[in-house]
Amino acid sequence: MKKELLAGIVDNFFNCSRPEIQQIINELINTLKAEEQISVTELMSRNYDTAQSNPEIHYIPGNLKDARDAIFPFFWGTDGWYSKLHLENVKGPANYASLIGSIACLLKNPNLCVDTYSQRSNELELKAITALANLVFYHTENPWGIFTMGGTISNLYGGKIGIEKVHPGAMKQGLKGVNLAGIVSEAAHYSNETLAGWLGLGTENLHSIPTDDSCSMDLELLEEKIEILYNQNITIAFVIATFGSTDAFGIDDISSIRRIIDEKSRKYNKPVPQLHVDAAAGWSLCFLNEYNLEDNEFGLSSEVISVIEKLRKYSLGIRYADSITLDFHKMGWGHYPASAFIVYNRDDLKYLFRSMEQVPYFSEADYRHDPALFTLETSRPGIGPYSVMASLNGIGLKGYQILVAHSLEMTALLRKKLNSLEYCRVLNQHCMGPSIVWWVLPKGRNASQIYDRIISGELNEKEYSRYFNEIHRLFEKRKNSCNPEIDASLSFTTSMGYNPNGISMPGWKAVFFNPKTDESVIRQIVKSIEEL
């Protein structure tokens, strides 16, 4: 080979050209700032057919500017969710401390599978996992966990440990016709069905427990379901509780679920199911566990103080769980992917261990610190721990308390204003998180009376469907008539997680994950509703 050919590629792409890289990064940041002037509903041009029909690759080697040009149109066309008008879902803007951590990670590009590939980045993961474990489990002596590609995979780990606990050897031998089941709530994320199917349990063996009007699992119905399953000689592999459902932010009573599954397992001489908590969206509420309510340093409203008081009981209940999922890229305001799976006791990871014979090319792996011996993924990026530790130490505990409390304040303010409108009804009135699901009906309708009649079973399907159509029609009317410069972007759910009499309840939805969202946004939401 001609040496100059290789030398040109090495020089352009494997030697760090600081001025050129800095210039391109500055250009991207300038673009980011320019996009802040674009409204949240102003969609960029997207053409998937064109993208698929033109998968061009340059023939001759180029340079870093060619690399920039190849991705720039798509970078420009991607929303960073930095606008205070983004209230659609459980996604917020990434903070810039996380950016610092993520850039540092990308510069070294560690693979967290083994110490050899990641060195001190592996150490950083253990540090980040322990910091998060102490927060959500409210101190634990022997935690361990890993960062995964997302909440679904983190929940998958919890389900898999449960299967191995109650049916030892399933990893090697399979289920072999053993009758296993899993339990979730009706407000749980659909990823639980994904993991039931992928783990071989079968989606038909995943049982959903109805919730009360706070979208919390009905504990009496949970007990009944466990009794039914055990009487049918079905073993329960896992119970997945929810701490912050995606729509209404329902929270399950984890300490009571722990008591129930322990008692029923003893009664029927069955192995205790894995109690996993899906706290992907709600985990950061734990930052408020130690906020001094009497001093009330932040000057929080009485409504928010009341929420924190009730919330504390449920968040402290997480310590009774065996494992947990949390997404730092949600309400930790970190960069994707930063989802963590954490076990209360690291000994539980033994259910996932591979033998050294199964991973011969990781002959140097050590059970004490190398996740490759138990992870689903062999290649795991390091952005999670870098994002977490940069953010936690940049923003700090008090900083996160301020951010979470602000989200709760905005939620309480909108709830209060909606409750004053007769034709509106807040559906998740008793939920404790930073989201609101509500109805908007035509003026002249009494939304609360209609709601009560549905709960009592007075309305037939034709009658309540007419009201549901009105709610959706008004949502679409606002969406089509709103001013993108001042009106928040909301979303619509067809089922908020509480299904009285088996009826899926639709509603408008606003999620307060953006720290920039202020009272002016709330006032404009209400004004836009009043003008419909």
Residue 277 zone, left/alpha/beta (φ > 0; ψ -120 to 50; rest): beta
Omega cis (within 30) before 19: no
Residue-wise pLDDT tens digits, 271-329 = 999 999 999 999 999 999 999 999 999 999 999 999 999 999 999 999 999 999 999 99
pLDDT (0 to 100) of residue 44: 61
**Confidence tier at 43 by pLDDT (50, 70, 90):** low
Residue-wise pLDDT tens digits, 420-447 = 999 999 999 999 999 999 999 999 999 9
Residue with tokens 């489990």: 137
**Confidence tier at 356 by pLDDT (50, 70, 90):** low
Whether the CB-CB separation of 207 and 192 falls below 8 Å is answered with no
Q: Which residues contact 393 (CB under 8 A, 6 or more apart)?
A: 97
pLDDT (0 to 100) of residue 120: 92
pLDDT mean across residues, the chain? 93
Class of domain 101-400: alpha beta
Residue-wise pLDDT tens digits, 508-522 = 999 999 999 999 999
Residues above pLDDT 90, as percent of the chain: 79
Sign for the CA dihedral angle at 201, 235, 209, 349 comes to negative
Whether the CB-CB separation of 80 and 96 falls below 8 Å is answered with no
**Confidence tier at 369 by pLDDT (50, 70, 90):** confident
The predicted model scores a pTM of 0.95
Locate the DSSP E strands across 291-332.
Answer: 323-327
Whether the CB-CB separation of 332 and 394 falls below 8 Å is answered with no
